[in-house]
């Protein structure tokens, strides 16, 4: 028995059954196993709770599911585009290659404008990322800094604003996972007393990140924080 309620392999299997459990897809025996596990495991109940908003939303979408919806252009849009092209078409004094070329160019231009407008309309609305401030930074002498984290599907972003990092010195940015493994988020070059504002990323889910360290070339931390 480990702290997660069962052997490592057993815990992993039961943890991965939480998806089917949340979606009510498990048969009776598996449901009983998961319920027993949830009653003793210190971590799986919270993982299951995190899935609840997703499950509730999927459940609501399911009865009328017809695929991922994408806005359809108006049915008469093609005819409207052609109508605009026709309206702009001047009767050529000398029908010939030039006139046909001009008509084709107009149609291509109209199509490009249409594609651009449609692309803009279909583009998702930009959303501002939610920045989680790091209030308890440990700073080396002479350094001032503010920092925050942004949760992404692909990992964790650090947004940093600092002064006092030695001009021209390369500092390494590292996230540390719960189990001690380090994940590099690259490096930044100090700009002295000028404000340094940057954003760096690590391929580590924010939930698994336990520590942030920015270190000088000797490995000495100059900015660090325990992560919430």
Partner 1 sequence: MQGPREPDASQEDASEEVVPRAVIDDALTMVTPEHREVIVEVYLKGRSYAEVSAEIGVPTETLRSRNFYALKALRLAMDEIGATS
**Residues of this chain that bind partner 1 (CB under 8 A):** 15-20, 22-27, 30, 47, 50-62, 65, 67-70, 124, 127-130, 151-153, 205
Closest approach, Cβ 100 to partner 1, in A, equals 41
Alpha helices in 71-216 (DSSP H): 77-88, 97-122
Nearer to partner 1 among residue 26 and residue 212 (C-beta): 26
Sheet containing strand 155-163, edge to edge, reads: 131-133, 144-152, 155-163, 196-202
Contact 89, 54 (CB under 8 A): no
Nearest distance, CB of residue 70 and partner 1, angstroms: 8
Sign of the dihedral defined by the CA atoms of residues 19, 23, 29, 32, in that order = positive
Please say which residue, 62 or 94, places its beta carbon nearer to partner 1. Answer: 62
Q: How far is the CB of 150 from partner 1 (least distance, A)?
A: 9
How far is residue 135's CA from residue 150's CA, in Å, rounded to a whole number? 14
Q: Which residue has tokens 């700009």?
A: 191
Q: Which two tokens stand for residue 126?
A: 């930009």
CA separation for the pair 86, 17 (Å, rounded) = 61
What lies within 8 Å, CB to CB, of 145 at 6+ separation is 137, 139, 160, 161, 162, 163, 164, 223
- Cα-flanking dihedrals φ and ψ of residue 80, to 5°? -65, -40
> Which residue, 43 or 88, has its beta carbon nearer to partner 1?
43
Closer to partner 1 by Cβ: residue 66 or 76:
66
Decide whether 87 or 123 has the Cβ nearer to partner 1: 123
The overall longest dimension of the chain from CA atoms, in Å, is 91
Read off the tokens for 220: 């000495």
Closest distance of CB 128 from partner 1, Å: 8
Q: Least separation, in Å, of the C-beta of 20 and partner 1?
A: 5
CB nearer partner 1, residue 71 or residue 168: 71
The minimum distance between CB 210 and partner 1, in angstroms, equals 18
């Amino acid at each position: 028995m480990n702290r997660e309620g069962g052997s490592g392999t057993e815990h992993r299997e039961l943890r991965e059954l939480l998806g089917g459990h949340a979606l009510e897809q498990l048969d009776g025996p598996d449901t009983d196993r998961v319920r027993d596990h949830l009653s003793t495991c210190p971590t799986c109940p919270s993982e299951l709770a995190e899935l609840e908003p997703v499950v509730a939303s999927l459940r609501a979408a399911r009865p009328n599911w017809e695929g991922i919806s994408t806005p359809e252009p108006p049915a008469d849009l093609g005819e409207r585009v052609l109508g605009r092209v026709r309206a702009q078409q001047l009767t050529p004094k000398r029908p010939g290659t030039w006139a046909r070329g001009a008509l084709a160019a107009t149609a291509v231009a109209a199509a490009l404008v249409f594609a651009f407008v449609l692309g803009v309309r279909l583009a998702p609305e930009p959303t501002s990322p939610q920045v989680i401030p790091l209030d308890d930074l440990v700073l080396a002498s002479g350094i001032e800094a503010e920092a925050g984290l942004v949760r992404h599907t692909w990992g964790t972003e650090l947004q940093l604003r600092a002064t006092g990092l030695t001009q021209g010195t390369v500092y390494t940015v590292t996230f540390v996972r719960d189990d001690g493994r380090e994940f590099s988020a690259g490096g930044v070059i100090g700009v002295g007393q000028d404000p340094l504002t940057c954003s760096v990323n690590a391929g580590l889910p924010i939930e698994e990140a336990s520590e942030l360290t920015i270190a000088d070339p000797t490995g000495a931390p100059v900015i660090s924080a325990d992560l919430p």
